[in-house]
């Protein structure tokens, strides 16, 4: 174990009183940053009399599941069960994340380790794509999708979102640091390019894959543009679209009981938020590792 000049241990495995000064600073900061998360969770379980209580209460006193029941009942009244929206979101997100990781990793491997004409140009185009916000390409994207005949299909909710420029950039930077000697040794042993990719590259870039998975999950799970512009059949829409229409309904004068509406919005916010935070918490160590290896400081 390394020691400092004063004889104290540096980064001890167990708690040491020398770490108290760090806890005094970091714990209040961590609690402060956790307050929005705690509020989202607490607000979703507040009963009617606590939603608009004055003075406002940060934490719920009598938690209830009624907000979630109202949310499910409202979906059933519209003719489409809540489970259908949930199924569509899970299906689209699951397939989309898998395809995004597959396409991004294969493209990054090709741009990093294979030799072909135009490789540098393709990577520059991908870097240039980082400059464009989604709204800037909304019209050409719609025209392309319409000409391909993908309107009112699950493909239209998946294919436009599987190519993530920032994910390709991160993964290529990660693969660039893989020694070429390892790949050459695999070729000498008779491995094909696909075998090298699956058995050599994929285990090495596991942290980058986790990062791309998180980015892809957040992009597809929270997408409201696709269901709004490209899907006309209500039974093919996703949770994100349903919650967006719920927010618009509550905001109108004819939206019904505003208190019940706010409760449903709080429950909807929690449902959309929980999968994102769980994925990040589970994979956050790999995300930090990716940022360190990709050259991002």
Determine the pLDDT at residue 296: 44
Determine the pLDDT at residue 138: 85
The CA-atom distances, in angstroms, between 282 and each of 133, 200, 211, 213, 285 are: 29, 24, 11, 12, 8
Residue 8 in this model has a pLDDT that exceeds 60: no
pLDDT for 16-30, tens place per residue?
677 777 788 888 888
As a whole-number percent, the residues of the chain with pLDDT over 90 amount to: 11
Checking phi first, is residue 39 left (phi over 0); if not, alpha (psi -120 to 50) or beta?
alpha
- Please report the sign of the dihedral spanned by the C-alpha atoms of residue 242, residue 246, residue 247, residue 253: positive
- Please report the sign of the dihedral spanned by the C-alpha atoms of residue 19, residue 25, residue 28, residue 30: negative
* Region 225-230 average pLDDT: 89
Q: Average pLDDT over the chain, rounded to whole?
A: 82
Determine the pLDDT at residue 103: 92
Residue 125 CB partners (closer than 8 Å, separation 6+): none
pLDDT band for position 289 (cuts 50, 70, 90): low
Architecture in CATH of 82-293: Orthogonal Bundle (1.10)
* Region 218-235 average pLDDT: 89
Determine the pLDDT at residue 12: 61
* Region 156-163 average pLDDT: 89
As a whole-number percent, the residues of the chain with pLDDT over 70 amount to: 86
Determine the pLDDT at residue 2: 46
CB 44 within 8 A of CB 67: yes
Which value, to the nearest 10 degrees, does the dihedral of the CA atoms of residues 233, 238, 243, 245 take? -20
Determine the pLDDT at residue 101: 92
Reduce the DSSP state of residue 256 to 3 states and report it.
coil
* Region 275-294 average pLDDT: 70
Scored b (16 or more CB within 10 A) or e, 43-75 reads: bbbbbeebbeeeeeeeebeeeeebbbebbeebb
pLDDT band for position 33 (cuts 50, 70, 90): confident
CB 208 within 8 A of CB 174: yes
Other CB atoms within 10 Å distance of the CB of residue 76? 12
For the full predicted model, state whether its pTM sits above 0.85: no
Determine the pLDDT at residue 52: 79
Name the DSSP letter for residue 293: H
* Region 31-36 average pLDDT: 88
Name the DSSP letter for residue 65: S
The CA-atom distances, in angstroms, between 93 and each of 8, 90, 165, 266, 293 are: 50, 5, 18, 22, 27
Residue 297 in this model has a pLDDT that exceeds 80: no
* Region 101-118 average pLDDT: 89
Residue 274 CB partners (closer than 8 Å, separation 6+): none
pLDDT band for position 4 (cuts 50, 70, 90): very low
Determine the pLDDT at residue 104: 92
Least confident of 228-232, 259-263, 285-289: 285-289
Name the DSSP letter for residue 8: P
Return the closest-CA partner of residue 93 out of 247, 264, 287, 272: 272
pLDDT band for position 15 (cuts 50, 70, 90): low
* CA–CA gap between residue 288 and residue 297 (Å, rounded): 11
Determine the pLDDT at residue 254: 47
pLDDT for 41-89, tens place per residue?
998 898 888 887 788 888 888 888 988 888 888 878 778 888 899 999 9
């Amino acid at each position: 174990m390394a020691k400092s000049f004063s004889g104290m241990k540096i980064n001890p495995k167990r708690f040491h009183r020398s770490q108290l000064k760090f806890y005094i600073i970091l714990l209040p900061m961590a609690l402060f940053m956790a307050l929005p998360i705690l509020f989202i969770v607490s607000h979703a379980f507040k009963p009617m009399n606590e939603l608009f209580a004055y003075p406002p209460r940060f934490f719920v006193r009598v938690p209830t599941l009624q907000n979630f029941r109202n949310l499910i009942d409202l979906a059933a009244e519209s003719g489409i069960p809540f489970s259908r929206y949930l199924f569509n979101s899970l299906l689209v997100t699951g397939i989309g994340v898998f395809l995004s990781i597959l396409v991004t990793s294969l493209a990054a491997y090709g741009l990093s380790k294979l030799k072909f004409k135009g490789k540098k140009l393709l990577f520059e185009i991908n870097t240039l794509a980082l400059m464009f916000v989604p709204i800037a390409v909304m019209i050409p994207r719609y025209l392309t999708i319409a000409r391909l005949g993908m309107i009112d299909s699950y493909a239209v909710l998946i294919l436009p979102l599987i190519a993530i420029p920032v994910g390709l950039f991160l993964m290529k930077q990660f693969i660039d640091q893989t020694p070429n000697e390892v790949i050459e040794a695999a070729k000498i042993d008779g491995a094909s390019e696909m075998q090298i990719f699956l058995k050599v590259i994929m285990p090495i870039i596991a942290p980058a894959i986790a990062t791309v998975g998180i980015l892809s999950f957040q992009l597809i799970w929270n997408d409201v543009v696709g269901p709004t512009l490209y899907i006309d059949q209500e039974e093919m829409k996703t949770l994100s679209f349903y919650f967006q229409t719920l927010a618009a309904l509550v905001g109108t004068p004819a939206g019904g009981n505003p208190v019940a509406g706010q409760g449903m919005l709080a429950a909807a916010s929690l449902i959309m938020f929980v999968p994102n935070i769980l994925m990040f918490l589970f994979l956050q160590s790999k995300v930090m590792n990716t940022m360190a290896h990709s050259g991002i400081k």
